Amino acid sequence: MDRGISEALAQAAACYNYPKTLLTYDPSASLPHFVALGFAVSAGDRTHLSYPAFEQEIGDQLRSQDPARARLGLASVVYWGHLSRNHGIAAIQAAKAIEANAGILSRVAAHVDQGRLGDALVLTGELPAIGSTSFGSKVIAFLAPEAAGVFDEQIYEYLARCVSGLETRAEARWIGRSTARDAWPAFGQLTKRKKHARIASGYAGWCSFLSETAAELTRSEAPAPHGLLAWRAVDVERAIFHLASRVARTA
């Protein structure tokens, strides 16, 4: 990786600015979709937190030994992931997750801790409101931001442009050469069992690329985002997400 590419990734990571919002149990219960199911849940603004601290809070929810709190963690991930659409859709989708099987969440976390990221992703397909790699990978990224990242449709389409040569910037050409073909199979519907092996392999490849790139950026002394001393896999993914978002806005 040459200096120009590392600088482009560092600048992109610094520009990432997705809302920091999660769900909390709250007697004042401001989200009617949850109230209708018998849960007192509100959206909590975490703008004051750094991204690593925000990730840690949701990660702690997901890993909680309290089933109710673990389910809230899944609902937080789903709510957060849909915020780019609007809060109403986010609440509707998140309400589907609040009654998830906490035992499956525990198994997902165990796979993650064993380094079986592809298997963990596939297992998230058994959880409500997940459905595809886009949301399953969000769960994995919150469980292990140092080792994993999101692989959503926007990134998938950006990789297609990188491979095809439609994106001519140096960082896009480098991304296309380095990861696109290996990661390509990661995207898909997790409900289709015949595709599980392909999706798991692709996502494992994507996460390996993110981790290896994070280590390379740290060695190059490219400034890590959020004042961190070292890059993490999720930081690289967010840099690529920002690059993909910029392309989507101008395409």
Q: With contact defined as beta carbons under 8 Å apart, do 133 and 150 qualify?
A: no
User: Residue 130 CA to chain centroid, in angstroms?
Assistant: 12
State yes or no: pLDDT of 44 exceeds 80: yes
Q: With contact defined as beta carbons under 8 Å apart, do 182 and 206 qualify?
A: yes
Q: With contact defined as beta carbons under 8 Å apart, do 142 and 62 qualify?
A: yes
State yes or no: pLDDT of 251 exceeds 60: no
State yes or no: pLDDT of 214 exceeds 80: yes
At residue 180, the pLDDT reads 63
State yes or no: pLDDT of 160 exceeds 70: yes
Please state, rounded to an integer, the average pLDDT across all residues of the chain.
93
pLDDT tens for each residue of 98-133 = 999 999 999 999 999 999 999 999 999 999 999 999
At residue 35, the pLDDT reads 82
